[in-house]
């Protein structure tokens, strides 16, 4: 049987990693974040000027039930 080439003392030492550097994709993420922030600010200013930051909502939904005992309009070909 062969001996181990690595000593157990080396396994206890924490492995060092280099810090990742910013690349093109990191710059694109920063540009996208800035675009979202600018668009949010523009939307807020538009809402402030046009609507006074007051969202009123839409109409109340209503559903009218058909009268009971009525015949539905079914073409005669399907009867």
> Is residue 53 a contact partner of residue 47, using CB atoms and an 8 Å limit?
yes
pLDDT confidence of residue 19: 87
CA distance 55 to 34: 26
Torsion region of 28: left, alpha or beta (phi above 0 gives left; psi -120 to 50 gives alpha): alpha
pLDDT tens by residue, the chain, 79 residues? 555 665 555 566 788 888 888 899 999 999 999 999 999 999 888 888 776 656 677 777 777 776 665 566 666 665 5
Write down the pLDDT at residue 33.
Answer: 98
- The pLDDT score that the predictor gives to residue 60 is 74
Q: Where are the domains of the chain?
A: 23-53
| Model pTM above 0.95 | no
């Amino acid at each position: 049987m062969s001996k181990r080439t690595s000593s157990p003392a080396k396994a206890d030492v924490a492995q060092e990693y280099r810090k990742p550097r910013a690349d093109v994709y990191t710059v694109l993420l920063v540009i996208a974040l800035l675009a979202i922030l600018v668009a949010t600010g523009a939307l807020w200013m538009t809402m402030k000027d046009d609507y006074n930051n007051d969202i009123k909502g839409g109409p109340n939904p209503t559903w009218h039930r058909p009268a009971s005992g009525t015949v539905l309009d079914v073409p005669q070909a399907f009867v």
